[in-house]
């Protein structure tokens, strides 16, 4: 029994001695070194400047929502977009609620009208593609008028 205790103490002592508790720093070239990554945050003006890639270069939004156009947009959204986009929660794609607080109206319409080129060339669209597991947005072949109606519906969410 004394032999087992002595062996246990010896093993434990070796274990403790093996731990680097002396406070020495590791020599350069050994160990893991983390790269510092700079995180760029978008300011309110940054997203307003990004108009996206596509046919829309300027959109003027009235102060009041055009209810008739928004209703038309709601119908289009229900038929063409709801399979992947829930109004107020993430699903296969992002939720459109509050989109105009994060993206310019031109960017939103260009994403609706020109999703393939947007995910290839636009940095925000590329980031969203990765965030949503690489599921690209399908081109629903909407007209500019239909995309504008959907945009107006987004203003009501």
Q: In whole angstroms, what is the distance from residue 106 CA to residue 135 CA?
A: 22
Q: In whole angstroms, what is the distance from residue 18 CA to residue 142 CA?
A: 68
The tokens describing 72, both together, are 């038309």
Q: In whole angstroms, what is the distance from residue 108 CA to residue 103 CA?
A: 7
What angle separates helix 105-113 from helix 144-154, to the nearest 10 degrees?
130
User: Is the pTM value of this prediction over 0.85?
Assistant: no
Q: Which residue has the higher pLDDT, 67 or 132?
A: 67
pLDDT digits (tens, 9 = 90+) for 117-133: 998 998 888 888 888 87
Q: In whole angstroms, what is the distance from residue 14 CA to residue 126 CA?
A: 53
Q: Domains in the chain, please, with CATH?
A: 44-51+66-154 (1.10.760.10)
């Amino acid at each position: 029994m004394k032999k087992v205790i002595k062996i246990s103490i010896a093993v434990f002592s070796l274990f403790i001695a093996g731990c680097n508790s002396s406070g020495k720093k590791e020599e350069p070239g050994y160990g893991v070194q983390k790269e510092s990554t700079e995180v760029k945050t978008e300011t309110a003006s940054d997203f307003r400047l990004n108009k996206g890639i596509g046919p829309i270069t300027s959109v003027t939004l009235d102060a009041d929502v055009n209810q008739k156009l928004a209703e038309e947009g709601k119908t289009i959204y229900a038929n063409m977009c709801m399979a992947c986009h829930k109004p107020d929660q993430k699903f296969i794609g992002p939720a459109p609620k509050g989109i105009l607080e994060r993206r310019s109206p031109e960017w939103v319409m260009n994403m609706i009208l020109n999703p393939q080129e947007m995910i290839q060339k636009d940095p925000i669209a590329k980031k969203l593609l990765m965030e949503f597991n690489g599921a690209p947005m399908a081109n629903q072949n909407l007209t500019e008028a239909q995309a504008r109606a959907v945009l107006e519906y987004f203003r009501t969410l």
